[in-house]
A and B are shown apart, each in its own frame.
Chain A
Amino acid sequence: MELKDLYRDVILDHNRKPRNFGRLEAPALHADGHNPLCGDRLTVFLRLEGDRIEDIRFEGKGCAISTASASLMTEAVKGKDRAAIGTLFEKVHALLTEQDAVASSDLGKLAALSGVREFPARVKCASLCWHTLNAALERGDAVTVSTE
């Protein structure tokens, strides 16, 4: 267990300067995510163009892992369609939970999250934004998901 594997520069950078941080004005799909263990809360806003995410933002308060993961996610999914996002989420989930998962090249910066799997208590921090994104995509309006 190495601390620097968890808090990589990319993670620290996205925590300090989260990208796509803020709200999207209506009409936008949005969902709230909550991790009751640590009190992390975030809201994901997105606008679709057909099946494709045209714009996405998030806001909320959370730990470095949850903030950086959300920031990296918004960068990764912008412009992608639902099917591509579903595939990406599966790969991120495997990266976060499977000991021998290898980060495929299409994960890009998201690969920085691979250190999280050494810290089982923190997996939910990293996956909260993805569950919230899924809720926004599937149910669309003012739903709340919880990682507990």
Chain B
Amino acid sequence: MAAVNPLPSATPARPYDVERVRRDFPILSRTVHDHPLVFLDSAASSQRPLSVIRAVEQYEKTTHANVHRGVYTLSQDATAAYEGARDRVRRFINASSTKEILFTRGTTEGINLVAQSYGRSRLKAGDEVLITALEHHANIVPWQMACEQTGATLKVAPINRKGELIFEEYLKLLSPRTKIVAAAHVSNALGTILPVKEMIAAAKQVGAIVVIDGAQAVPHSKVDVQALGCDFYAFSAHKLYGPTGEGVLYGREQLLKDMPPWQGGGDMILTVTFEKTTYNELPWKFEAGTPNISGAVGMAAAIDYLENLGIESVAAHEHHLLEVATAELQKIPGLTIIGTAANKAAVISFTLEGVHPHDLGTILDSEGVAVRTGHHCAMPVMDFFNIPATARASFACYNTLDEVKRLVAALQKAREVFG
């Protein structure tokens, strides 16, 4: 069943050369307030390597036309580039067919598509949708909307003080009433890696379909949708070193085939008369209107880039940064790390006593250090920990131990300012 993966990720491991990686990212050579930029907000949006920038530029300069429309050379070339990107994504997540790869604007749109097409047409009063307490708003609100529209009920599996899913409570909430389970693979606010494989297996026992928000997982771990056994898996290109406004929804072919279209328009139809429209085949049934063609091309280049580095090597590098940064931050008086799960991605959310995260963000920025501050689109998580906001440092393939030191020094400066 599983497709062979003939990709360069199989190249032999070599020592991870972060300085060489950094040279691939032009933006990293800029300064901010006279300091070399320390970019620690890749969980919000990662930077683009030159190969992605060039792939997009090359497409724009030599290939662009609308896809699936013209018989002329350019349109055919553009279509080949766009559909080639689809197959690149298929191999990346090991889907069995390109019919299962829908291009979207991003993770948020992918989840909305499932909620509105699958959810709205299948859910009814008495049914339940089960999410977890650490979801991003993009995996809460679409389900609230679908529940409101259908009379179904939203259930929330709780987390513990470390920010881990309480698995027994999750199991208790699963029942034959559970029609959809929607969960993050990795929490954006806390870094927690969820046991999605076990969650999916348990959900299957009660006949629920499972939607995974993979936005924070795909850049840091090899994802195999067939091995996971999920029904839907959504992610974004721009957290994966690719362009913004581009993403992927993987859906199992059997489910997608039976789902009603979500948006109507060009490209998603075969024939249109005023009496009746027949819809296009998968995956185009779910891609109304002219898509983000250069975005798809850029995403494919980003996947090439990441797999050339080797996702496992990148993940090991990031994990090392996480361990060092965690140890160093814990030495700072008054600093509390929010989210201390045993199994964590390279994300550290924290608060510093006496300094509001927003002030922290400004002071760190004045030192050239970019971190996210705020509620991270996860207000229920903030409420759970009874804090208005956190500062969050997240690490990617291009971050260094020296940048961890710069973060620590900038935090010391914040303590001085607020003495």
- Residues of chain A touching chain B, judged by Cβ–Cβ distance below 8 Å, are 1, 3, 6-7, 12, 37-41, 61-65, 67, 119, 121-122, 125
Residue of A with least CB distance to B374: A38
With a cutoff of 8 Å between Cβ atoms, the chain B residues found around residue A61 in the complex are 388
- Chain A residues with Cβ below 8 Å from B388 are 38-41, 61-62
**Shortest CB distance A62–B (Å):** 7
Q: Check: B201 CB closer than 8 A to any chain A CB.
A: no
With A38-B373, A125-B358 given, can you name 5 additional A-B contacts, CB distance below 8 Å?
Answer: A12-B417, A38-B374, A39-B389, A64-B356, A65-B359
| B interface residues (Cβ-Cβ under 8 A, vs A) | 33, 355-359, 362-363, 366, 373-375, 379, 382, 388-389, 417-418
* A64→B359 CA distance, assembly (Å): 7
Q: Do A38 and B363 form a contact, CB below 8 Å, given A1-B33, A3-B417, A61-B388?
A: no
Closest to B417 in A: A7
Question: Given A3-B366, A39-B374, are A12 and B418 neighbors across the interface (CB < 8 Å)?
Answer: yes
Subset of 24 A-B contacts with CB under 8 Å: A1-B366, A3-B362, A3-B366, A3-B417, A7-B359, A12-B418, A37-B374, A38-B356, A38-B358, A39-B374, A39-B388, A39-B389, A40-B358, A40-B388, A61-B388, A63-B356, A63-B357, A63-B358, A63-B359, A64-B355, A64-B418, A65-B359, A119-B362, A121-B362
Asked if A62 and B356 make an inter-chain contact with CB atoms under 8 angstroms apart, the answer reads yes
Interface pairs A-B: 4 shortest CB-CB: A63-B356, A63-B358, A39-B388, A38-B358
With A1-B33, A3-B366, A7-B417 already in contact, the answer to whether A39 and B375 are too (CB < 8 A) is yes
How far is the CB of A15 from the nearest CB of chain B, in Å? 8
Chain A residues with Cβ below 8 Å from B375 are 39
Contact of A38 among B33, B355, B389 (CB under 8 A): B389
CA distance A3 to B365 in the complex (A): 10
B358 proximity list for chain A (CB < 8 A): 38, 40, 62-63, 65, 122, 125
- A47 to B348 CA separation, bound complex (whole angstroms): 44
Q: Determine whether the beta carbon of B363 is less than 8 Å from that of A3.
A: yes
**Bound Cα distance A62, B358 (Å):** 8
What are the residues of chain B within 8 A of A125 when measuring CB–CB? 358
What is the CA–CA distance of A61 and B389 in the complex, to the nearest angstrom? 10
Question: B389 contacts which chain A residues (CB < 8 A)?
Answer: 38-39
The CA of A125 and the CA of B362, in the complex, are separated in Å by 12
Compute how far the CA of A121 lies from the CA of B379 in the bound complex, rounded to whole angstroms.
21
Determine the chain B residues whose CB is within 8 A of the CB of A67 once the complex forms. Answer: 356
- Expressed in whole angstroms, the Cα–Cα distance for A121 and B373 within the complex equals 12
* Distance in Å: Cβ of B189 to nearest Cβ of chain A: 12
Contacts of A12 in B (CB 8 A): 417-418
Known: A1-B33, A64-B418. A38 touches B366 (CB 8 A): no
